[in-house]
C-alpha cells in the first residue's frame, strides 16, 4: 500500500509510474485520496482542539468547585458535556474517513521502479538474458502430457475423479521426482543462507490483505466462508506475514526464509495448449524464498535472489531466459519483477517457472513491518520474494527436454535425491 505522504508530496512521480501500468483514472483516484486525507486531517485538528478545550475546562471546574463557586462550575460542566458530544461525533467522522482512505489506498497498485519498461502485456517484457542451448529432439518427440501416460507417472484422470480438473495425482517415479525437486530446492536455499520454515497453508483475511492478495485477487483464491480462511496461492503470504506488526531490532537484517508449500489458485484455465497438462494447475508444489531487507540494500538482494534461481536452473541443465516485466504485466504489489522461463522443447515455447520481485515498502506498509534505528523513528522495510522453484513446468521441461528411446534421463544433481537416473516404463 502506498503511503499518503508519498502520494501528496510526489504526485507527479506516482502518476508517471501508474501510467506505466496503464492504470485507469490514476489522476482522479490519487487526487481523491489526497482530498480525503486533507478532510480527515482538518477534522482531526478540530477534534484535538475541542478535546484540549474540554481538558482545560475540567481543570477550571476543579478550581471553581474548590472555591465553592458551584454555579460557575455547573455552567462549565454543561459546556464540557457539549464539547464531548461534538468530539464523539468528530471521532466517528474521522474514523469513517480513515476507513474510506484505507479502502481507496487498497485500489492503487505499487509504483514501478524506474527501470521497469512501459508496456501493456507480456509481449512488451524485456529479455535480460538467455542461457543454455535449446535441445534438438527427434521428430517423434512427445509433449509431457503424452509422456506421463507412457511412463505412468502422473494421472490427471484420477485427480479429476477425486477432486476435479487441475488436481493431478503423482505416482511412482513421478511422486519421487516431485519429492526430489522439493528437497533439492530447499537444500540449495539453506546453503545460500535461507532459514527454513513450514507455514500453514490456510491464512486469515488480515494476512491476505497485508501481502496484497486481498482485496485485489479475492476471486482467485479458494475461500472457506465458515471460518473466513483462504488457501494460500503462494508461500509468500504466510511467510511474509510472520513479520506482520513487527519492529525488527537493528542488526537483525537481512531476514531470509525459505519454505515449501502446496499452492492453490482458482483461476487456472481449462482450454488450449497453454494450460494443458502441467502448464497450469489449481494445486501445485512450490518452494518460495522471502527476504526482509533495508531499503538501501533491497535491489542488491533482488539481484542475489535472481542469481540463486538461475543457479538452480543451471544445475537442472535447463535452457532459460530472464525477463524484466513491463508495467502492464507486473503484479499489483510489485515495484520490479524478473520472470525466469525455461524452454520446453516438445512444446516449442518458453514456460514461466519463477517470478522474483521487490515490493519496496508496499507490503511493509500494510504489514506495519518496520525497523527502529538508534535514535530514530521506526522506518518501513522492503520485502522481496521469489519462486525457487515452482514444480509443474520444471517437471514438464525436464520430461520433454530429456526424452530418449530408452527413457527420460534426469540431471545428475537429482540422482542422489531420486535413487535412480532415468524414468523408465
Measured distance CA(31)–CA(113) in Å, rounded: 22
Cross-strand partners of 408: 403, 423
CB 378 within 8 A of CB 353: no
Residue 393: predicted pLDDT = 97
Measured distance CA(232)–CA(264) in Å, rounded: 6
The verdict on pTM exceeding 0.85 is yes
> Going from the N-terminus, what domains does the chain have, and what CATH number goes with each?
4-106 (1.10.287.40), 122-423 (3.30.930.10)
Measured distance CA(308)–CA(388) in Å, rounded: 8
CB 327 within 8 A of CB 119: yes
Residue 270 has pLDDT above 70, yes or no: no
Measured distance CA(290)–CA(196) in Å, rounded: 10
pLDDT digits over 55-106, tens only? 888 788 878 777 778 778 778 888 888 888 999 999 999 999 999 999 999 9
Measured distance CA(194)–CA(242) in Å, rounded: 15
Residue 267 has pLDDT above 90, yes or no: no
Residue 374 has pLDDT above 80, yes or no: no
Measured distance CA(99)–CA(80) in Å, rounded: 28
Q: Choose among 278, 382, 271, 371: nearest CA to 336.
A: 382
Q: How do strand 349-358 and strand 169-170 relate by DSSP bridges?
A: unpaired
- Other beta carbons less than 10 A from residue 120's beta carbon: 12
Measured distance CA(184)–CA(415) in Å, rounded: 10
Tell me the C-alpha to C-alpha distance, in Å, between residue 66 and each of 12, 72, 73, 155, 205.
59, 12, 10, 87, 54
pLDDT digits over 273-303, tens only? 578 999 999 999 999 999 999 999 999 999 9
Measured distance CA(183)–CA(196) in Å, rounded: 12
Measured distance CA(269)–CA(280) in Å, rounded: 7
Measured distance CA(143)–CA(123) in Å, rounded: 24
Measured distance CA(156)–CA(146) in Å, rounded: 11
Kindly give, in sequence order, each residue whose CB lies less than 8 Å from that of residue 352, ignoring residues fewer than 6 positions away.
339, 340, 341, 393
pLDDT digits over 324-366, tens only? 999 999 999 999 999 999 999 999 999 999 999 999 999 999 9
Q: Choose among 295, 263, 288, 301: nearest CA to 363.
A: 295
Tell me the C-alpha to C-alpha distance, in Å, between residue 283 and each of 30, 168, 232, 374.
37, 8, 10, 45
Amino acid at each position: 500500500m502506498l503511503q499518503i505522504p508519498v502520494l501528496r508530496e510526489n504526485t507527479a512521480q506516482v502518476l508517471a509510474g501508474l501510467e506505466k501500468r496503464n492504470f485507469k483514472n490514476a489522476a482522479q483516484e490519487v487526487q481523491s485520496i489526497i482530498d480525503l486525507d486533507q478532510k480527515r486531517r482538518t477534522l482531526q485538528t478540530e477534534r484535538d482542539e475541542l478535546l484540549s478545550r474540554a481538558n482545560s475546562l475540567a481543570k477550571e471546574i476543579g478550581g471553581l468547585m474548590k472555591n465553592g463557586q458551584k454555579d460557575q462550575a455547573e455552567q462549565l460542566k454543561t459546556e464540557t458535556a457539549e464539547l464531548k458530544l461534538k468530539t464523539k461525533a468528530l471521532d466517528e467522522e474521522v474514523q469513517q474517513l480513515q476507513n474510506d482512505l484505507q479502502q481507496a489506498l487498497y485500489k492503487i497498485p505499487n509504483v514501478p521502479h524506474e527501470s521497469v519498461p512501459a508496456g501493456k502485456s507480456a509481449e512488451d517484457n524485456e529479455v535480460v538474458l538467455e542461457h543454455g542451448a535449446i535441445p534438438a529432439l527427434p521428430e517423434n518427440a512427445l509433449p509431457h502430457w503424452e509422456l506421463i501416460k507412457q511412463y505412468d507417472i502422473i494421472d490427471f484422470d484420477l485427480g479429476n475423479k477425486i477432486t476435479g480438473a487441475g488436481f493431478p495425482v503423482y505416482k511412482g517415479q513421478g511422486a519421487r521426482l516431485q519429492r526430489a525437486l522439493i528437497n533439492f530446492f530447499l537444500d540449495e536455499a539453506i546453503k545460500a543462507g535461507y532459514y527454513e520454515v513450514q507455514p500453514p497453508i490456510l491464512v486469515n483475511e488480515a494476512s491476505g490483505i497485508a501481502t496484497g492478495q486481498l482485496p485485489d485477487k479475492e476471486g482467485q483464491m479458494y475461500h472457506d466462508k465458515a471460518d473466513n480462511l483462504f488457501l494460500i496461492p503462494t508461500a509468500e503470504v504466510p511467510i511474509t506475514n510472520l513479520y506482520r506488526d513487527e519492529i525488527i531490532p537493528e542488526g537483525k537484517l537481512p531476514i531470509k526464509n525459505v519454505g515449501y508449500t502446496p499452492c492453490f489458485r482458482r483461476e487456472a484455465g481449462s482450454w488450449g495448449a497453454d494450460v494443458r497438462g502441467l502448464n497450469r494447475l489449481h494445486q501445485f508444489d512450490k518452494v518460495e524464498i522471502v527476504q526482509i531487507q533495508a531499503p538501501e540494500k533491497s535491489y542488491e538482494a533482488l539481484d542475489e535472489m535472481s542469481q540463486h534461481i538461475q543457479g538452480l536452473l543451471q544445475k537442472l541443465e535447463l535452457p532459460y531466459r530472464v525477463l524484466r516485466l513491463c508495467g502492464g504485466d507486473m503484479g499489483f504489489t510489485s515495484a520490479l519483477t524478473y520472470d525466469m522461463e525455461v524452454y520446453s522443447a516438445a512444446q516449442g515455447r518458453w514456460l514461466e517457472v519463477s517470478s522474483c520481485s521487490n515490493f519496496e515498502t508496499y507490503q511493509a506498509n500494510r504489514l506495519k513491518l518496520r525497523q527502529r534505528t538508534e535514535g530514530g523513528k521506526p522506518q518501513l522495510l522492503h520485502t522481496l520474494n521469489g519462486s525457487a522453484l515452482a514444480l509443474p513446468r520444471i517437471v514438464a521441461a525436464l520430461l520433454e527436454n530429456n526424452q530418449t528411446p530408452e527413457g527420460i534421463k534426469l540431471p545428475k544433481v537429482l540422482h542422489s535425491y531420486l535413487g535412480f537416473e532415468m524414468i523408465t516404463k
